[in-house]
Amino acid sequence: MNARWQADLESWAIPDEILRTTTVNPWLHNVQRMSRRAASEISAPAGPTYDRARQAMGESVLDVGAGAGAASLPLEPAELIAVDQNPEMLAELGRLRPDARLIEGRWPDVEAPEADVVVCAHVVYNVPELAQFLVALDDHARKRVVVELSDVHPTSWLNPLWEHFHGLVRPTRPTSDDAAEIAASLGFDVTLESRPAPEPMFPSAEEMADSACRRLCLDPSRAPEVIAAAEALGVWPSRPRTFITMWWDVRK
């Protein structure tokens, strides 16, 4: 089961002949976008991820793949531990929550303390060894694990553009159902809840095109062409997205 997940993720790799055309990492996340999302969640916390984490709150929260803190900062725990591989993301989280304990590194390789609640939002599609990853989340939680992910791969919105600009047909798996199946196979009593994404992915066509050019390995000068294609293909305005909350109580 985990082998299928890993193979499905590998099928999203960008062919070398396309990667060689760019000097920009197409997989990098935009810190400004992540910070904006965190600010939005802090100002109006809502949804099953927030509700289920809040429901089991104790003194501490461990946020794995924390980004700028969108999943954990709204909870306002007495103690916040944040793990992320991106130092710029951690710096932004630290700016928003100066007393947070910041741990830079890859999960589950880093050393991190246990916490009452472990949250992990929009990370699992970057994790080939998902079973090991989820077990480590469970091992570090005293009460509950709360995982948020999109129902389909988060770059699926680009699929029509990949075919348009590169003639490349992109995959359709894995999905949130596949992740839940792996979690259940590990013995976790998984509950799934869904909600519409609280806001559009991009506030403007220009920001959409900037992201699309980077991810499609296109020169930024082609942004107007990307906008035109996105409008013609129904990629822009952004289609509604669905977020899935996958949670379980730990058995210790």
What percent of the chain is predicted at pLDDT more than 90?
94
Q: E strand or H helix at 191, and its extent?
A: strand 191-196
Please report, for the chain, the start and end positions of each structural domain, with discontinuous segments joined by +. 2-16+26-154+171-202+240-249
Helix 176-185 × helix 2-10 angle, to 10° = 150
> What pLDDT sits at residue 30?
86
> What pLDDT sits at residue 108?
98
Cα separation, 199 vs 41, in Å, equals: 10
Q: Give the chain's count of helices (H) and strands (E).
A: 10, 7
pTM of the model: 0.96
Q: Is 22 exposed, middle or buried (0-12, 13-18, 19+ CB in 10 A)?
A: middle
CA distances from 41 to 4, 90, 146, 197 (A): 33, 17, 16, 12
Residue type, 71: A
2-16+26-154+171-202+240-249 maps to CATH 3.40.390.30: no
Contact 150, 182 (CB under 8 A): no
- Is residue 252's pLDDT more than 80? no
> What pLDDT sits at residue 55?
98
